[in-house]
Amino acid sequence: MKSVKEIRSEANMLYTKSSHYIVATFIVVGVIMAFASSLMSVLGVQFNLPLLFLAAVLFGPVQYGTIKASLLAYNRQARQVTTAKFSLLGFRHYFKIFLPFVGRSVFIYAIEALLIVGFCLIASQADHLMMFLEAVLGGQFDLLLSDGHLIVNAAAIVMIVITVVVGFVLESYLALSYYFAVDHEVGLIRSMRMSFRSMRGFFWDYIWLRITYLPYALATAIIAGVVSRAFTTMFQQLISMMPGVPILFFNILLVAIVAFINTLVSVMIYRVKEDLAITVFYKELDVLE
């Protein structure tokens, strides 16, 4: 098994040789995923469906194109990747790969939701169930604050932390399931089992690999956040100048622009390199498997 440093070095080499073939696919797929996630959140608020953001998992199979591209790059076959074909590859094989891609996310959400429901029943916190679900499953932790102060008790905070940790561990152990599903053409259960089994003994290597890209992710978040804030302010001014145009239209347009900017920044800074590093990590474990 290669060290994290060696994995990153190989990923950088792969990026140098294949980026001009695969980057555009990462941008298109990333925009689709980001737009779908944000759009579901906007529509959820608009139509009072607070958990509608979970429907974004239905777009999970779109990632098939980037995973396939990463595997081809690893095999020095990146020339086979064409943006028009691979960006939509997930849609083309949607029903074939639906269970491995959507099922994993649903499984993790279900475990987290069961933990939250269980706590609410035990601690008589049923009135806050929806808020907890939105906070944990959607990452909307600002819902737990009011004027900068926590509106939940210590027991609820402990429950949320435990649930987030459990979800993080599950997500990490199952992180390679998509690769097994694509590379070995196996179903949901087997791909999850293969990922879990191969990750045993290498869990902390995977975590450290992801941590090494954290500074780039934070830089991306800051840059994208500043740009997004600027566009949000601009759109607020446009709304006041054009009262006849539905706010939903502006919200959807803003979501599309922000999704493109966020994806473009992340892909240009680190995202492709990180995915290639995970691909190298997967291939190292696949040999052991």
User: Residue 30 carries which side chain, given as an amino acid letter?
Assistant: G
3-state secondary structure of 225: helix
More reliable by pLDDT, 247 or 56: 56
Work out the percent of the chain whose per-residue pLDDT is above 90.
Answer: 59
Helix, strand, coil tally for the chain in percent (to 5):
85, 0, 15
Q: What is the pTM of this model?
A: 0.89
**Quick one: average pLDDT of 262-268?**
92
pLDDT surpassing 90 at residue 271: yes
Question: Distance (Å, rounded) from C-alpha 173 to C-alpha 190?
Answer: 14
CA dist list (Å): 99 to 56, 86, 195, 278: 14, 20, 15, 22
pLDDT surpassing 70 at residue 59: yes
> CB under 8 Å to 180, separation ≥6 — which residues?
186, 190, 191, 194, 195, 282, 286
pLDDT, position 229: 84
> pLDDT tens digits for 182-219?
999 999 999 999 999 999 999 999 999 999 999 999 99
Helix (H) / strand (E) element for 153: namely none
Question: Residue 149 forms beta bridges with which residues?
Answer: 146
pLDDT, position 148: 61
pLDDT surpassing 90 at residue 231: no
Report helix angle 203-211 to 4-46, nearest 10.
Answer: 70
> pLDDT tens digits for 118-140?
888 887 777 778 888 888 887 77
> pLDDT tens digits for 143-155?
777 666 666 777 7
pLDDT surpassing 90 at residue 108: yes
pLDDT, position 60: 92
**Quick one: average pLDDT of 21-46?**
89
User: Residue 160 carries which side chain, given as an amino acid letter?
Assistant: I
pLDDT surpassing 70 at residue 288: no
In eight-state DSSP terms, residue 202 is T
CB neighbours (10 Å) of residue 12?
13
In eight-state DSSP terms, residue 262 is H
Q: Are 131 and 160 in contact (CB under 8 A)?
A: no
pLDDT, position 151: 66
Q: Are 14 and 69 in contact (CB under 8 A)?
A: no
Domain ranges of the chain: 4-288
pLDDT surpassing 70 at residue 64: yes
